Structure 1
């Protein structure tokens, strides 16, 4: 919904299709009320072979993108994948997400502040995860001098998506502040990957915390430097 808001207000973009299996036939604005008056689009359940567009954003869960990405790439449709399916090397992805990657190919990691040359002109780009974006940019200037990097992140509730759960239920979140997935969050793999690309051999640690706010992430990177030579 937020991506569509940005595109609908962009002078060079024309949003032609919004796809969904579950919401087929439902007006987009009835699902995303903030888009009322901006679009009359209706969600359509169509296959990747039938998409008629110059550019596609894949806003699907991990493991779902890999079932579509190959078709879009073969058709030459420029694509940004918002899922995790192409952010990591194949072996790291399979270990991190516990699934076999059935349609792997290499794609540039879309953190343009660090990989602008790789992203420019690419036909398929892996959009970085939310936590790794702020964490990596915070640590980038000193990563090559670090022996340990500790990422401490606070996030709003909307990052969990719109599926109800006990974790995001308001009585459990309101006036509360809690850490979760200590040292095991999947985004740590991206943080380690990007630190290595910055020339760092540092050990990386990451703990996310859930704040009782709607949106946004605040990350503090604690960078312990190596002793001077």
Structure 2
């Protein structure tokens, strides 16, 4: 029978965080970049609340979905110029509206004090992820940051998560995410999964025994339970 670790004992435990919708609320800036592309094509823009559910996917998927919502389909030939326009705008305005979710910073600090090794495992390009975390003054809290272009394949392939484990030099870890992509990544890497139910989703594949949290203050105890000795 497993016994939970004490709250101050997370030595040599890896904690892998998704970025968009899990650690940082980036929807405002991602929607703004998408709207910049839409406006350039003379199309109606998205309200943040309507574009929020698109924010957890790749830039290409987000652009494609936004164009479809505006009644226009993009061909394969149309996408590169729109993607470049999106990335140029997003890179220049990456932290205009983005912020850590409430109490994420204090929770991360507490986990580090307990001896945990922290990583970011995201499908955002690595350089953009590092830039965003630097601007939010938390980049130094993570031992490694693995982006969608870092490993051989992006999530939901297990390669990014496995690379995080290799870099952290841990065998025991937990994955924190907000979507089915994160859930499938965790399963493929044989890691327990804790779902942030306030993110962008979807989380349609969660089972009846899924572990979820609605506020970062609840996360440390859930991690301790998941990593019980």
**Could you state the TM-score of these two structures normalised by the residue count of structure 1?**
0.32
Structure holding more helix per residue: 2
Structure holding more strand per residue: 1
Query: RCO higher in 1 or 2 (8 Å CA, sep ≥ 6)?
Result: 2
Instruction: Determine which structure has more spread, i.e. the larger CA radius of gyration.
Output: 1
